[in-house]
Structure 1
């Protein structure tokens, strides 16, 4: 499924947590782990979601559960402007394997649009003899989620618009403050000190003669190699 959306989709999506009124079966969610890169371009968050699956009471009683738990991992890349979502079932994982993948990416023809893609796989190994029933329930639930996907995002986009949020600045790399040490600057060497004897002034010696007579090895040690006086 691919469709295009405008405005701050990423901000709208985050509003689905910890619960979403448009998804009645989504009862609650807890953050399991979270990672943010130093430049804040990458944000990965993993949640444990509690779902009240629309299944016959008899089937729930046989399975011995009232709720089903899924683990969802959201990987947001602000640098590439992508959001990838991976989800898998934690409950009955030894009997049923459900994997779902969703992605929000920039539309190739219009960078102000967002493309949404969703796919899922279901593998039922065994489920107390109710494999066919579980498959029908899973397919019904997945089809319903596809239809609601765009509706939910548009709901939160409208909510943001009502709050006056119609634009979210794109991520830009932080400007690093490079402080150069004083030793990194090239400084002009300081000329050694010159002692001008009173007698030279009296005898009328010119500046050139004074410099020539003052360039002795002992006087050149008045400065360090990097030009700092001692």
Structure 2
């Protein structure tokens, strides 16, 4: 098993980030062209805690080496994402796991968005970790696959941040324009 960890700060409030999270695979994100579809399977709010829980199926075009696509037998992959948004503690937690090729390799990712401790009204801390485990009879091959996967995960995390920054910018711009439009109407 190999672990990937990443932390960064977004210069946007937790409210902006948590709303933009639902748009992270939209057309504004030019880095997520591999995402074909995002389907909501379930969504509910716990009346006692106010926590919004969503389960989504994310469909992606495989962007993997041919040898890995031959092993999985798929050009399209599926990821299950379960998220919880807690408005009281201002926390968004996303947990995802690959469904395609899970008998060959398991990727379990957790992402957490929380207000920045020093700038809670204007910045958000993003924490990401992923556990990657390759299965097989030959440990050297499994180790090589895991190492390659962690390296690839890091590259994709950089692209993901760039794309999410674009979504945050467009989302914030749209929100500002909407607020300004309401002021003019008043």
TM-score by length of 1: 0.63
TM-score by length of 2: 0.76
Contact kept? 1:5, 1:115, Cα under 8 Å: no
Contact kept? 2:9, 2:116, Cα under 8 Å: no
The reply to whether residue 148 of structure 1 matches residue 159 of structure 2 is yes
Deviates more, 1:120-129 or 1:87-96: 120-129
Higher normalized strand content (fraction of residues): 2
Residues in 2 aligned to 1:65 and 1:144: alpha-carbon distance in whole angstroms = 22
User: Alignment partner of 1:165: what SS?
Assistant: helix
User: Alignment partner of 1:54: what SS?
Assistant: coil
Q: Deviations over 1:12-56 (max 9, x none)?
A: 111124775421222212112111234783111111111222223
**Partner of 2:131 in structure 1?**
121
The reply to whether residue 14 of structure 1 matches residue 45 of structure 2 is no
Aligned runs of 1:2-151 on 2, under 5 Å? 2-7=8-13, 8-17=16-25, 20-38=29-47, 41-112=50-121, 113-126=123-136, 131=142, 134-151=145-162
The reply to whether residue 158 of structure 1 matches residue 169 of structure 2 is yes
Contact kept? 1:71, 1:90, Cα under 8 Å: yes
- Higher-Rg member (1/2): 1
1:57 shift after superposition: 2.9
Equivalent pairs, count: 168
Higher normalized helix content (fraction of residues): 2
1:136 shift after superposition: 4.9
Residues in 2 aligned to 1:76 and 1:127: alpha-carbon distance in whole angstroms = 40
User: Alignment partner of 1:108: what SS?
Assistant: coil
User: Alignment partner of 2:168: what SS?
Assistant: helix
Unaligned runs of 5+ in 1: 169-230
1:132 shift after superposition: 5.6
